[in-house]
């Protein structure tokens, strides 16, 4: 891998190899913690990684900054006011400059086109830490979480309920590549991008998975091994919040909806969660919820990604 801009930058086998490495790093960290030894390794010894944030961040910043440190590298967080991507300085120029200083760039931005332009100029690996089109690092952690609970991904079903957004896009692509069937239940007018669905269907044809896009949340959840949701209005969509709340009202993940999932199904959410909106508070507090395991796995999956890209 040169970059990780999209789930489509890796094959199904490469995704599984990343998950295997994430599991190994997670186990190693736990063993070091139990032994009271240092959590810092040497995989990125002498390496620096720029973390460029155009959007607010909790999990992404913390998991990447801690992850780089624990791999023995140096993280350089940079906020939008400092960089001014495409405003203070041309996107390609930012990539070219940072590429002279650091060994990799992790960027959380808006446009996928900006991400790709920066990567083309950087000359070092670039990681998509979230754009409006995809959230591939989140999908890595999601697959790791489902696999931890259910054992294998192939033959299982994950249902995503809500907006066909960046998270839905990456889940479609990642699941289809590894044999995990993905169903998307969305309100009218909020379907995932047709080109992403078409790509996922092609991958599913090779892996034996199934891709379903529907406006019926109950049918989508029926028999699912994992049920996933996200906020109804993402960053940059705050002005649409009231309109979306009305249109998404029937797509809340409730205990009643979860009852249609398979026995032992898990509930996932990429966070932050708005209890009483996209998910009922009872579901967030239920034994089925694996949202904090999922958040933790951002650390391990991203460490595996960086170690692979820079190894």
Element (H, E) at 266: strand 266-269
Nearest-angstrom CA–CA distance, 304 and 42: 13
Residue carrying structure tokens 């009643």: 256
Active site residues per annotation: 108, 135, 138, 230, 270, 298
Closest CA to 186 of 204, 166, 168: 168
CA atoms within 13 A of residue 60's CA, in its CB half-sphere: 28
* Sequence-distant (≥ 6) Cβ neighbours of residue 104 within 8 angstroms: 47, 49, 50, 124, 125, 126, 127, 306, 309, 310
CA atoms within 13 A of residue 182's CA, in its CB half-sphere: 35
> What burial class does residue 193 get, using C-beta atoms within 10 Å of its C-beta: 0-12 exposed, 13-18 middle, 19+ buried?
middle
């Amino acid at each position: 891998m040169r970059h990780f801009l999209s789930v489509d930058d890796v094959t199904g086998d490469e995704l599984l190899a990343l998950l295997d490495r994430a599991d190994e790093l997670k186990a190693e960290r736990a063993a070091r913690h139990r032994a009271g030894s240092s959590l810092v390794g040497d995989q990125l010894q002498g390496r620096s990684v720029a973390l460029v944030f155009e959007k607010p961040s909790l999990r992404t910043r913390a998991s990447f900054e801690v992850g780089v440190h624990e791999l023995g590298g140096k993280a350089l967080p940079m906020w939008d006011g400092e960089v001014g991507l495409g405003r203070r300085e041309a996107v390609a120029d930012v990539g070219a400059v940072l590429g002279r200083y650091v060994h990799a760039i992790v960027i959380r931005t808006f446009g996928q086109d900006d991400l790709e332009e920066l990567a083309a100029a950087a000359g070092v690996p670039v990681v998509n830490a979230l754009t409006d089109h995809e959230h591939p690092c989140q999908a890595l952690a999601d697959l790791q979480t489902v696999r931890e609970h259910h054992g294998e991904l192939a033959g299982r079903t994950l249902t995503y309920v809500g907006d066909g957004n960046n998270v839905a896009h990456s889940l479609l692509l990642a699941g289809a590549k590894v044999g995990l069937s993905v169903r998307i239940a969305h309100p009218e007018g909020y379907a995932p991008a047709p080109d992403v669905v078409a790509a996922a269907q092609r991958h599913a044809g090779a892996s034996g998975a199934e891709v379903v896009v529907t406006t019926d949340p109950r049918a989508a959840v029926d028999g699912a091994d994992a049920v996933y949701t996200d906020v109804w209005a993402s960053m940059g969509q705050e002005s649409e919040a009231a309109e979306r709340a009305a249109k998404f009202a029937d797509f809340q993940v409730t205990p009643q909806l979860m009852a249609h999932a398979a026995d032992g199904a898990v509930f996932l959410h990429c966070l932050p969660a708005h209890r009483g909106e996209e998910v009922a508070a009872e579901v967030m507090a239920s034994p089925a919820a694996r949202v904090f395991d999922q958040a933790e796995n951002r650390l391990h999956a991203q460490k595996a990604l960086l170690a692979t890209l820079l190894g």
